[in-house]
Structure 1
């Protein structure tokens, strides 16, 4: 496990990167940075690991991100995998036909995700310091000084070239740089409980809303169920205890039964806001996950958005810190991920507003939309687009005019024609090296010219040559003419490139998107 410190930080302590907050986003980011050779310290105010959880849904794109780190299969064994999501009566999002190795959504407690990511971060050399609370910071032209208070009351300062705040909705890092967090409250006093049930719901996951409020029931696969419930008009503070009878009442009101809720092992309340910072970067300080954007729990998108923030930022920050890229590359983090955060707010907000609609007209339209998604002519088209959006597979980043259509899009997990022990047989296995991966057509020859990154050969008949970024998105693409394959000698560097900033130098990668 990572080194754990419970005392003050020495005033002379210095490192390359500090990540503040050891939730899923911070753990993935710290692991990526350390794996890339960056000295990384992860500060966590909690002295001990938590077995409590709010997030539980791991969508397909996030499973691909974890697959590129060798973690997906292990995580799948911890939960319950489902292939459709029911938003409201009659509305079903079919995830089973998604173009991925993971056509569905994994229901598993957040602590399983954190456990795997912490183990990986330790293995690659990230240093986790528990009981170390960030109380403020100051940045200058050369770096950032972070004030830290240990859980024993002692204080000190830790110095780094860059700091990333992944410390949640009440982010100290965000407040320290004076970054606004505009938005509004959506739901007050949402109840959470992990419980046993006498009878399992017929739907997985089960979600109902009505005049009384809503209730959501999902299995964790180990006999425990998460129940999320909200009663319309409730305005209790977050510290108010959860009344199990109230939880049962709301569940009965919308489902017609409370499924025999009993034996709660954990309960909590939270307020749900819709907020997003205007900028994900302020000089040498960056924000990710809930420190940058928060939204309603509808759709289970929050943890996924944060993990994908980390995957986008990690390779860019590592390239800058190693001297392989100019600092301007970091601006592409905001340019690519801020619009995704906006989309998540819109999607989750639309879902929760549809579920809670009181107007008979809106409820009628909601029913019509549900029928269309499930049975009507829009089932394939609209349902497919919604599934791609909710799963994260449909996320694409901007590309300049004239680029190949694949530039900025998620790379599919192509089969590879590699031979020999330890050679990857899929693209996402090749991405586990943490490098750019150049995918060339069969017969093209791996040594036919210069170019950055690990070089692999497609096993299919496709003639598209790709340069895939470490986060699994296409940075460059080009269609190779038939005459260039099977022995042709050409310069294999794709012409359709994206260069949002100055090139990174020695690795000959023009800051590909």
Structure 2
């Protein structure tokens, strides 16, 4: 066993992004994926702004931008008025419509190019944890075998074998709503962005590659905990006609499916040498298209911490902060998904009135629109500072700061294997460039955001969140504070 090796169970978007981050951090990795090839039936269709920022921070966003369809907003609970992303503090003020299958292809290319090993047609069946390693049982095409690694990451979905074997509890609530979807040909498709909500239910229509469309919705008959059998084309058509008054000439389904609102959150994201990310850690109703995005953001938080731990760059306790930071995000995801589910199943006259009220607030109250947009897109995610005297920026996501005289913003300068010290003093902190494990960029900010106008130096984590910021006008005091922050963030 290589002392820095990690095994990832699950080769979906979350496992693939984690593999790439580990490789960038100098760690060898093997991804074990049960599917022999990428599934063409894409559960996820949406890439949110924060996830595009994550991709941009590693310089791999351009293919996604080139192929995805930008949509300057998103829906909240299928309300008539869509959220407007055009005022968000990001270069990417839109969602990208891109099928998960293509997202996986691009992420797989990225991981393979970095040297990750991806084993398809094999599945993790269990493991035994030892003091310095994990022995992982795998079922392959030619039988069972074992692999050994320093850590095992479970990115293997809501029915996670890794989570179950680890004995990590997955508390929550069972499904009480069954939504439905069909990927079909529409001979007379509705206008782009179509959605409808009536006493008979709610439905949305989204374009797919190859001339297909996804019709997805809920109806009064969806309010059941009993499995009614597989979705049929007749049921899909009848539901759509009842809601929209038209079936849009639907035919030739390539996928018909139901999905529930079971909502669960892993009690621990880390137990010893086992870690969870994505659907293995949180399950929820797919409202707003956030699931894959939150999972990739889990991996983005975990990857640099795990690599730093294995390579001896991490301060004590760094890996424990993965649970501390991401578990609350999972809890918020569950809360938001439940809230949207309640609105998406409000078929009574009173429910329709509530929906109309909230929809109107999105359209007429900019602050309400902005708050919901920031939460849906994960741009509002921050990690509370442990020091109550820390600068207010500590733990927040840094925007793509622009630097005077440079076309490269902050995202283009982030690295998976090192913190970045922004020296905004005019170069007075240059001696810190020799500090172990960090990069230094001396510059001045071009049109800084309000919260950054007085900042003279900042330490940015590999995932783009602020580890420390200082405003001291005295260079010697600022130097000592920056050196202290570096010492707390990087093992020496």
Taking structure 1 as the reference length, the TM-score comes to: 0.87
Alpha-carbon RMSD across the aligned residues, in angstroms, is 2.6
Pair 1:475 & 2:467 matched = yes
Q: 2 CA distance for matches of 1:224 and 1:374?
A: 30
Q: Residue by residue, what CA displacement relative to the aligned partner does 1:173-205 show, whole Å, maximum 9, x if unpaired?
A: 01101111111234554333222223343352x
Q: 1 CA distance for matches of 2:203 and 2:318?
A: 43
The 3-state SS of whatever aligns with 1:63 is helix
Q: What is the aligned partner in structure 2 of residue 309 from structure 1?
A: 298
The 3-state SS of whatever aligns with 1:134 is strand
The 3-state SS of whatever aligns with 1:28 is helix
Q: What is the aligned partner in structure 1 of residue 347 from structure 2?
A: 358
2:479 to 461, 472, 491: 491
Pair 1:388 & 2:371 matched = no
Pair 1:413 & 2:396 matched = no
Q: 1 CA distance for matches of 2:405 and 2:105?
A: 32
Structure 2: gaps (5+ residues) = 448-452
Q: What is the aligned partner in structure 2 of residue 248 from structure 1?
A: 237
Pair 1:91 & 2:81 matched = yes
* Cα distance, 1:236–1:89 mapped onto 2, change above 3 Å: closer
Q: What is the aligned partner in structure 1 of residue 204 from structure 2?
A: 216
Contact 1:21-1:166 at 8 Å conserved across structures: yes
2:430 to 436, 447, 452: 447
Greater CA drift, 333-342 or 92-101: 92-101
Contact 2:422-2:440 at 8 Å conserved across structures: yes
Contact 1:403-1:497 at 8 Å conserved across structures: no
Contact 1:78-1:221 at 8 Å conserved across structures: no
Give the deviation of 1:50 after TM superposition.
Answer: 1.9
Q: What is the aligned partner in structure 2 of residue 171 from structure 1?
A: 160
Q: 1 CA distance for matches of 2:132 and 2:299?
A: 23
Q: Residue by residue, what CA displacement relative to the aligned partner does 1:120-178 show, whole Å, maximum 9, x if unpaired?
A: 111111111111111111112111111111023x1111111111100001100011011
2:458 to 459, 463, 466: 466
Greater CA drift, 79-88 or 236-245: 236-245
Taking structure 2 as the reference length, the TM-score comes to: 0.90
Greater CA drift, 308-317 or 261-270: 261-270
The 3-state SS of whatever aligns with 2:39 is coil
Q: 2 CA distance for matches of 1:428 and 1:385?
A: 23
Q: 2 CA distance for matches of 1:489 and 1:335?
A: 31
The 3-state SS of whatever aligns with 2:470 is strand
* Cα distance, 1:297–1:427 mapped onto 2, change above 3 Å: same
Give the deviation of 1:326 after TM superposition.
Answer: 4.4
Q: After superposition, where does 1:234-383 map in structure 2 within 5 Å? A: 234=222, 240-326=229-315, 328-375=317-364, 379-383=365-369
Contact 1:189-1:269 at 8 Å conserved across structures: yes
Contact 2:9-2:31 at 8 Å conserved across structures: yes
Q: 2 CA distance for matches of 1:68 and 1:494?
A: 23
Give the deviation of 1:435 after TM superposition.
Answer: 2.4
Q: After superposition, where does 1:30-41 map in structure 2 within 5 Å? A: 30-41=19-30
Q: 1 CA distance for matches of 2:479 and 2:281?
A: 42
2:69 to 77, 80, 98: 80
**Matched residue pairs, number?**
480
Pair 1:149 & 2:148 matched = no
Q: 2 CA distance for matches of 1:199 and 1:458?
A: 54
Q: Residue by residue, what CA displacement relative to the aligned partner does 1:348-387 show, whole Å, maximum 9, x if unpaired?
A: 2111211211343333222112112212xxx111111111
Q: 2 CA distance for matches of 1:13 and 1:267?
A: 44
The 3-state SS of whatever aligns with 1:307 is helix
Contact 2:72-2:93 at 8 Å conserved across structures: yes
Structure 1: gaps (5+ residues) = 1-11, 507-513
Q: 2 CA distance for matches of 1:492 and 1:430?
A: 24
Give the deviation of 1:458 after TM superposition.
Answer: 3.4
Q: What is the aligned partner in structure 1 of residue 218 from structure 2?
A: 230
Give the deviation of 1:13 after TM superposition.
Answer: 8.8
* Cα distance, 1:237–1:359 mapped onto 2, change above 3 Å: closer
Q: 1 CA distance for matches of 2:61 and 2:352?
A: 39
More helix as a share of residues: 2
Give the deviation of 1:73 after TM superposition.
Answer: 2.0
Contact 2:125-2:161 at 8 Å conserved across structures: yes
Q: What is the aligned partner in structure 2 of residue 7 from structure 1?
A: none
